[in-house]
Amino acid sequence: MATLDLSVTVAGLAMNTPLYNASGVWCTNTPQLREVLDCPYAGAVVTKSCTLAHREGNPKPRYRSFNGVTGSINSMGLPNNGVMYYIQAAQELAPHKPYFMSLCGLTREENLQMLSTLQHDVGAHVPIAGLELNLSCPNIAGKPQIGYDFDAMDEMLRESFECFDRLPVGVKLPPYFDPAHFDAAAAVLRRYPAIRWVTCINSIGNGLLVDPLAERTLLTPRSGLGGIGGASIKPTALANVWSLRQRLPDSVDVVGCGGVARGVDVFEHLLCGASAVQIGTLIRDRGLDQFRVVTDELAFIMRSKGYTRISDFRGTLQAAEPEEWPLE
C-alpha cells in the first residue's frame, strides 16, 4: 500500500499533518500547549488569543456544548494569561512544530503595544513561528468585531505592519455571509503583501441558545449571546475558505476552521483550498485523541480515492454537474 504523505505548509512552515487546534481550545496555559505539541497528530499549535494583561474573562457559565458534542456556544470574554506568558511559554516549550501566537488586544493601542514588545523585546532565539492577529472576537461588550468594519480593519493592518515585520503574520477572520463582503475583505487583505495566511472562520458570533425547560439562556454573559461552533457552522466555514481562496493570491494560505467533526470535514476544507485545518469544538469536548481519529478517517478517504498527498486534491473542488433530473 502506498504510504500517505499528510504534510503541508502554512506560511512556508512545515507541518507533518494538516490539523491543529483552533485558537481558544486547549491552548490557554503551558500544560495544554505542551499536550498539543506532544500530540503526533497535530501539526502545529496556536495559543489562546492574548491581551496585554492577564484576564479572568466573563462570568460562568460561558461555554456550553449542545446536540451531544457537535455544537458549542461560547462567550469566554478573552480569559488569558497575558502576552508575556505566551512568549515565555514558547521559550519554555521549545516547540518542534510551528507555535503560533494569537493576539487580540482590546484596543488598537493594546495591539500595537503587544506588537512592539514582540518586535523589540523578544530575543531571536524565542521559537515563535508566526503571529495571528485576531480580527474577530465576538464576545467583548462594546467592542464590535473589527473584521466587520473594513475601514477599521484596513487601519489596524496598516498600523500593525508599520511597527511589526519580524515574523510571519496572519489574520483570523469572522465569517462573512455575502459575496460583496468576501470581495471587500479580500480587497483590504490584498493591500498587505506581508499577510501570509488567513484563518477562517471564527465562531458565528452572537447566536442564542435557550434551555426551554428552565426557560433560560444557556450562557450567563451578554444576555446569553455567544459564538456558535461545531457541525452546524461547516457550510459557512467552507463558503468562506472557498471564497477567500479564490480571491487571494497564492502567497496567502487559507487555514480552514469550523465544523470539523469527522475526517470527511477536513477533506472538504482541503478540497475548498485550505492549506491546513483547525479543530475546536470536537477537541474541546472529546479531547486531543480526536486528532488521531480524524487523521485516520482522512487517511482512509485519501487511500480509497487513490490520493497519496494533500496536494493531489487540495483546492480542486469542481462545480456540480448540470443535470435535468431531479428537477428541483
- Residues sharing a CB contact under 8 Å with residue 219, sequence separation 6 or more, in sequence order: 61, 62, 63, 64, 73, 74, 75, 209, 225, 226
The reply on whether position 170 binds ligand DHB by CB under 6 A is no
Candidates 18, 77, 105, 170; binder of ligand DHB (CB under 6 A) is 77
Q: Give CA angle at 263 (181, 62), nearest 5°.
A: 60
The residue from 39, 50, 137, 257 that is catalytic is 137
Q: Which residue is nearest to ligand DHB (CB)?
A: 76
Cβ 239 to ligand DHB shortest distance, Å: 18
Note whether 28 binds ligand DHB by CB under 6 A. Answer: no
Among 51, 72, 81, 203, binds ligand DHB (CB under 6 A): 203
112 φ/ψ sector (left φ>0, alpha ψ -120 to 50, else beta):
alpha
Nearest to 194 by CA among 218, 161, 232, 163: 161
Angle, CA of 90, 93 and 95, to the nearest 5°: 80
Residue 208 is which amino acid? Answer: L
Give the binding range for ligand DHB (CB under 6 A) out of 74-82, 83-91, 251-259, 304-312: 74-82
CB of 16: closest distance to ligand DHB in angstroms?
26
At closest approach, how far in Å is the CB of 279 from ligand DHB?
15
Residues 35-54: x where in contact with ligand DHB by CB under 6 A, - otherwise, as a string: --------------x-----
Which of 133, 142, 254, 144 has the alpha carbon at shortest distance from 205?
Answer: 144
- Nearest approach in angstroms of CB 57 to ligand DHB is 6
* Number of residues this chain uses to bind ligand DHB (CB under 6 A): 17
Residue 279 engages ligand DHB in binding (rule: CB under 6 A): no
**Smaller CB separation from ligand DHB, 207 or 315:** 207
CB of 270 to ligand DHB, least distance (A): 23
Q: Is 281 in the site for ligand DHB (CB under 6 A)?
A: no
Binding mask 79-118 for ligand DHB (x = CB under 6 A): -------------------------x--------------
The torsion angles phi and psi of 127, rounded to 5 degrees, stand at -85, 65
Does position 175 interact with ligand DHB (CB under 6 A)? The reply is no
Q: Judged by CB under 6 A, does residue 280 bind ligand DHB? A: no
Contact 36, 100 (CB under 8 A): no
- Report which of 272, 155, 141 is spatially closest to residue 205, judged by C-alpha positions: 141
CA distances for 32 relative to 59, 86, 106, 233, 282, angstroms? 22, 12, 24, 25, 16
Q: 505592519: which residue's cell?
A: 161
137 part of the active site: yes
Q: Which residue from 21, 81, 202, 232 is in contact with ligand DHB, where contact means CB under 6 A?
A: 202
Binding mask 124-143 for ligand DHB (x = CB under 6 A): ----------x-xxxx----
For 114, the grid coordinates are 503587544
The secondary structure of the chain in percent helix, strand, coil, rounded to multiples of 5, reads 35, 20, 45
Contacts to ligand DHB from residues 219-258, by CB under 6 A: 227
Residues in the chain: 328
For residue 63, give the C-alpha cell: 461555554
Which residues participate in catalysis according to the annotation? 137
Task: Give residues in contact with ligand DHB (CB under 6 A).
Answer: 24, 49, 57, 74-78, 104, 134, 136-139, 202-203, 227
